[in-house]
């Protein structure tokens, strides 16, 4: 589910175009393999629909916040920290925005590589975001899958501890009809119970607010009764499952509040990343049909 105004931009595009949506620069692709929209605010995928599917795989609020605030939905980049997972490296940036520095930053399109099956999009921040770390994003899209890679590198002289997340909003028919398989037996931290630890028993059904960090590197299968998607990941031992329940954020109208569920590849307090000088880390998520 995406806003009508964003869908209009996609429908008006043949191939690739640059456009403005809600005051934000976006890059729109409408090609034989499917549709993709990327916002240059935050380097954020806003929309993906492969050829042959009737509905988008990602959800975006129809009433996004105005600039300089960010858009809820798609795949926001949380970097170099996620939520409260801030670590006391020696950089002055650690006291910045809640989900890190990448979310509000302006990004630039570095390259688009087209091939027979789809495209590969390369992005980097327009300005340096961190005194010790650099970051870039690679997005691969085709008729079978969407893959997003968040690549960090320590260009400083001391080790840096960091966290990150690909905060994926999956579009669903109804949150309360969702079943998540692949988490059974995994230990998790329940953020709604002061990070109490528990073990997942069987399939996860979402019937109310949920905010959990699962300690697992396994793929998750999401079935909402109408479509089944597989959410795999790379270099991540934390899977975050989130939905706010009935108390929705201010930018999310009640009538669409149960049309998404977040299943996120992350590095959290369960698996923080230590980058020594010169080292790189790739956090990835891959969406495909199950």
Question: Could you report the per-residue pLDDT of 76-126, keeping only the tens digit for each?
Answer: 999 999 886 666 454 555 666 667 899 999 999 999 999 889 999 999 999
Which CATH number is 227's domain given? 2.70.98.10
**Which of 26, 108, 45, 97 minimizes the C-alpha distance to 68?**
97
CA distance 64 to 133: 30
Q: Is the residue at 37 inside a domain?
A: no
The b/e string for 42-58 (b: 16+ C-beta within 10 A; e otherwise) is bbbbbbbbbeeeeebbb
- Helices vs. strands in the chain: H and E counts, helices first: 1, 23
CA distance 132 to 81: 14
What's the domain range around 204? 71-289
Q: What is the pLDDT of residue 91?
A: 57
Q: Is the residue at 38 inside a domain?
A: no
Q: Is the residue at 241 inside a domain?
A: yes
Which residue ranges of the chain lie beneath pLDDT 50?
A: 88, 90
Give residue 68's Cα distance to chain centre.
19
CA distance 15 to 13: 6
Q: What is the pLDDT of residue 126?
A: 97
CA distance 15 to 18: 11
Q: Is the residue at 118 inside a domain?
A: yes
CA distance 91 to 131: 6
Q: What is the pLDDT of residue 89?
A: 54
- Total domains in the fold of the chain: 1
Q: Is the residue at 82 inside a domain?
A: yes
Q: Is the residue at 218 inside a domain?
A: yes
Q: Is the residue at 27 inside a domain?
A: no
CA distance 233 to 274: 19
Q: How many CB atoms lie within 10 A of CB 72?
A: 19
Q: What is the pLDDT of residue 92?
A: 54
Q: Is the residue at 36 inside a domain?
A: no
Record the pTM: 0.95
Q: What is the pLDDT of residue 83?
A: 80
SS3 at position 101: coil
């Amino acid at each position: 589910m995406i806003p009508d105004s964003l869908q209009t931009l996609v429908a008006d595009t043949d191939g690739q175009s640059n456009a403005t949506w809600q005051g934000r620069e976006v890059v729109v692709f409408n090609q034989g393999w499917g549709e993709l929209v990327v916002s240059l605010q935050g380097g954020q995928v806003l929309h993906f629909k492969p050829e042959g599917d009737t509905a988008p795989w990602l959800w975006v609020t129809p009433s996004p916040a105005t600039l300089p605030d960010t858009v809820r939905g798609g795949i926001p980049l949380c970097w170099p920290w996620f939520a409260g997972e801030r670590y006391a490296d020696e950089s002055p940036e650690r006291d910045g925005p809640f989900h890190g520095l990448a979310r509000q930053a302006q990004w630039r399109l570095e390259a688009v590589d087209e091939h027979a099956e789809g495209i590969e999009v390369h992005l980097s921040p327009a300005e340096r975001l961190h005194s010790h770390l650099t970051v870039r994003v690679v997005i691969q899209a085709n008729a079978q899958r969407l893959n997003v890679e968040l690549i960090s590198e320590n260009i400083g002289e001391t080790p840096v501890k960091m966290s990150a997340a690909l905060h994926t909003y999956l579009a669903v028919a109804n949150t309360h009809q969702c079943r998540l398989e692949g988490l059974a037996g995994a230990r998790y931290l329940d953020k709604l119970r002061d990070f109490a630890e528990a073990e997942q028993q069987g399939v996860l059904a979402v019937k109310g607010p949920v905010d959990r960090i699962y300690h697992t590197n396994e793929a998750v299968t999401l079935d909402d009764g109408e479509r089944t998607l597989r959410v795999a990941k790379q270099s991540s031992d934390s899977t975050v499952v989130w939905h706010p329940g009935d108390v929705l954020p201010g930018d999310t109208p009640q009538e669409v509040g149960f049309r998404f569920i977040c299943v996120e590849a992350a590095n959290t307090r369960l698996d923080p990343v230590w980058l020594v000088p010169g080292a790189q880390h790739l956090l990835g998520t891959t969406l495909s049909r199950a």
